[in-house]
């Protein structure tokens, strides 16, 4: 890594350029140590044994840091290293439309000329970025959680089924299962997917209004012709898609392979639900894997 970018305006966070040989491009890697601090004494700080890897870091890194630190106020989460993967020069998700389609999608489509690079991006995460992080934070790699929303959620599905579950847990918001005419959804429905070789926990979340009607309401303020406005006659129900996918996954993945939770958030749209998925997913993960003890606060070792 080369530290030639100014740090983001988030306490204790750093921003660095990371060149990738797997992808043949540079990424902006954002990191923040989110530590649980105990009041007696305040210097009693839990070590970091967990990493939260956030795709679309230009849009969700700040959200992830704030959510984690808010939950840590009441010791509902252990100390964590939050890592956001973004792109140099991007100020937000709007600046990454084409390049994120390159990295977060498992197949090519004419909609995006550079799409279908998920395998190369996965190699960057697992073979380049994670080992580098583990050198700097040796204990943080003990438990690794992946968070992705929309195309990032699609990438998470790809990581589980086609890349052997490289992470221990997945928090997946509104996965874009419509991608490439629903090819991954079709594979799930046909029984082509097999149980992944590594045990993992998966939290799926989506907004109840991610239906055709909801998408039209969500985009009502956009001008006619805007690329994000739903096209007339193009029916899309992401809630139904995710329900079908989760049911198919549960049929092929026994409980000793994947532990799955699926939640639909009332009154939420595609662009509003991501922070809720992250917060609820982290709480579900912590309750399942760490738990609270009656004698004291949650500790990063689960004791």
Range of the domain at 166: 13-220+236-289
229 belongs to a structural domain: no
Q: Which residues of the chain have pLDDT under 70?
A: 1-9, 38-44, 232-233, 291-303
Residues facing residue 172 across a β-bridge: 148, 204
48 belongs to a structural domain: yes
Structure-token pair, residue 127: 């073979």
* Rounded Cα distance, 219 and 195, in Å: 38
Count of domains for the chain: 1
Is the peptide bond between 284 and the residue preceding it cis, with omega within 30 degrees of 0? no
pLDDT at position 8 is 60
CA contacts within 13 A on the Cβ side of 155: 29
CATH number for the domain spanning 90: value is 3.40.50.1820
φ/ψ region of 116 (left if φ > 0, alpha if ψ in -120 to 50, else beta) reads left
pLDDT at position 252 is 84
pLDDT at position 292 is 47
213 belongs to a structural domain: yes
pLDDT at position 197 is 76
pLDDT at position 241 is 97
Structure-token pair, residue 297: 């606060």
Q: What is the tens place of the pLDDT at every residue in 150-197? A: 999 999 999 998 988 999 999 999 999 999 999 999 998 888 877 777
6 belongs to a structural domain: no
pLDDT at position 256 is 75
Q: Which of 80, 64, 88 is nearest to 16 (CA)?
A: 88
pLDDT at position 225 is 83
Instruction: Report whether 104 contacts 152 (CB < 8 A).
Output: yes
């Amino acid at each position: 890594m080369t530290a030639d970018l100014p740090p983001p305006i988030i306490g204790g966070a750093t921003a660095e350029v990371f060149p990738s040989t797997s992808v043949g491009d540079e990424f902006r890697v954002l990191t923040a140590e989110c530590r649980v601090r105990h009041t007696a004494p305040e210097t009693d700080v839990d070590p970091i044994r967990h990493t939260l890897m956030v795709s679309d870091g230009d849009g969700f890194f700040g959200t992830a840091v704030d959510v984690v630190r808010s939950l840590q106020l009441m010791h509902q989460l252990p100390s964590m290293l939050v890592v956001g993967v973004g792109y140099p020069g991007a100020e937000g998700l709007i600046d990454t439309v084409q390049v994120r389609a390159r990295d977060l999608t498992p197949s090519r489509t004419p909609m995006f000329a550079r799409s279908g690079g998920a395998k190369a991006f996965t190699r960057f995460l697992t073979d380049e970025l994670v080992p580098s992080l583990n050198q700097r934070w040796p204990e943080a790699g003990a438990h690794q959680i992946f968070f992705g929303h929309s195309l990032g959620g699609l990438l998470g599905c790809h990581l589980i089924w086609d890349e052997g579950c490289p992470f221990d847990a997945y928090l997946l918001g509104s996965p874009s299962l419509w991608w490439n005419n629903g090819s991954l959804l079709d594979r799930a429905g046909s029984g082509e997917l097999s149980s992944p070789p590594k045990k993992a926990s998966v939290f799926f979340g989506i907004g109840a209004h991610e239906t055709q009607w909801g998408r039209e309401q969500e985009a009502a303020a956009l001008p006619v012709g805007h690329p994000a406005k739903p096209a007339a006659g193009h029916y899309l129900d992401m809630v139904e898609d995710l329900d079908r996918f989760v049911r198919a996954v549960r049929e092929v993945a026994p409980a000793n392979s994947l532990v799955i939770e699926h939640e639909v958030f009332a009154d939420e749209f595609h662009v509003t639900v991501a922070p809720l998925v992250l917060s609820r997913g982290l709480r579900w993960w912590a309750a399942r894997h760490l738990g609270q003890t009656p004698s004291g606060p949650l500790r990063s070792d689960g004791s």
